[in-house]
Amino acid sequence: MHVEVTGSGPPLVLLHGWAMHGGVFAPLVARLRDRHTLHVVDLPGHGYSRDSAVPLDLPACAAAIADCVPPAPWCGWSLGGLIALHAASRDPAQVTALAMLCASPRFVRSEDAADPWPYAVSADVFRDFATGLRSDYRGTLDRFVALEAFGSDHAKDEMRAMRDGLLLRGEPAADVLADGLELLQTSDLRGVLPTLPVRSAWLAGRRDRLVDPRAMRAAAALAPRSRLHVVEHAGHAPFLTHADEVAAQLVAFMDDRAVDPGRAA
């Protein structure tokens, strides 16, 4: 598995989202590398890990990443958040703190009155993307990028950045993309939150149309030692459009202090 190591200081692990690669974090890396040694992972089947034999499931990914990085806080964006949350719940000695960046313990809505989770997308969204991968691979990736950027004040810039960077490390493996969509559609990690053994930060985009900030607020409320921050005017990738704010929140969280609004990371 490919892990890029850059910067100096205490370690921090960064996990990207579906169909992307670690290069998407470039704006965040630029702001954090003077404060932290960053371990930027390409998930199996993505980027420079395209030919990795590690299956894209939560236990296998968490174990493979843990073998490649030192004990550290893990920050997971979107799909990467599911992997980070799973790892933190199982191995707090390895994952010493958890930052969920536009990530939810459950991405799919539940209308069950006995077990509601209303602030999420319909399962049909992921089923449609899975069908689209088989008939129009490039078009499906393009539609997903558009969904990620939708709602942001800087949607066009965000979309352009993700589209331009999407294939810079090669095309992600189609079967792995299907596996990733299955993870997003079926995973439900809400049950681990009340006993989460590490402190957590939940960083949401106010205008995120994929991970509703209300879902992140509800998740944070379930976890002990949690904090929530909502980035106003941001969509699903606030580290692209509001990198200074996201970096400041991450630095403050890892330093275990509140953010000073007048001070950048």
Which residues contact residue 145 at a Cβ distance below 8 angstroms, ignoring those fewer than 6 apart?
159, 162, 163, 166
> Residue 63 is encoded by which pair of tokens?
């174990």
Enter the DSSP assignment of 7. Answer: E
Which residues contact residue 110 at a Cβ distance below 8 angstroms, ignoring those fewer than 6 apart?
116, 117, 118, 120
Question: In the chain, at which residue ranges do the beta strands (DSSP E only) sit?
Answer: 3-7, 11-15, 37-41, 72-77, 95-101, 200-205, 226-231
Residue 260: Cβ-neighbour burial (10 angstroms; 0-12, 13-18, 19+): exposed
Q: How far apart are CA 95 and CA 74, in angstroms?
A: 6
8 Å CB contact between 158 and 24 = no
> Residue 42 is encoded by which pair of tokens?
């390409």
Q: How far apart are CA 47 and CA 54, in angstroms?
A: 14
User: What would the DSSP string read from start to end of 176-194?
Assistant: HHHHHHHHHHH---GGGGG
Number of alpha carbons in the 13 Å side-chain half-sphere of residue 181:
24
Give the per-residue pLDDT at 258.
66
Which one of the listed residues 46, 86, 236, 242 is annotated catalytic?
236
Tokens 């991405």 sit at which residue? 107
User: CATH number of the domain at 3-254, please?
Assistant: 3.40.50.1820
208 is catalytic: yes
Bridge partners of 226?
200
Which one of the listed residues 16, 208, 229, 242 is annotated catalytic?
208
Q: Per the confidence metrics, is the pTM higher than 0.85?
A: yes
| Edge-first strand listing for the sheet containing 37-41 | 3-7, 37-41, 11-15, 72-77, 95-101, 200-205, 226-231
pLDDT tens series, the chain, 265 aa: 999 999 999 999 999 999 999 999 999 999 999 999 999 999 999 999 999 999 999 999 999 999 999 999 999 999 999 999 999 999 999 999 999 999 999 999 998 889 999 999 999 988 888 888 887 877 888 888 777 777 766 677 777 777 777 777 888 888 899 999 999 999 999 999 999 999 999 999 999 989 999 999 999 999 999 999 999 989 999 998 899 999 999 999 999 876 554 443 3
8 Å CB contact between 24 and 16 = yes
∠ at Cα 145 (135, 68), nearest 5°? 100
16 is catalytic: no
Helices 123-135 & 137-149 angle (0-180, nearest 10): 150
Q: How far apart are CA 258 and CA 265, in angstroms?
A: 12
- Kindly provide the b/e burial profile for residues 59-93, where b requires at least 16 CB atoms within 10 angstroms of the residue's own CB: eebbebbbeebeebbbbbbbbbbbbbbbbbbbbbe
Query: Per-domain residue ranges for the chain?
Result: 3-254
Give the per-residue pLDDT at 188.
97
- Kindly provide the b/e burial profile for residues 111-146, where b requires at least 16 CB atoms within 10 angstroms of the residue's own CB: eeeeeebebbbeeebbeebbebbeeeeeebbbebbe
Which one of the listed residues 78, 152, 187, 226 is annotated catalytic?
78
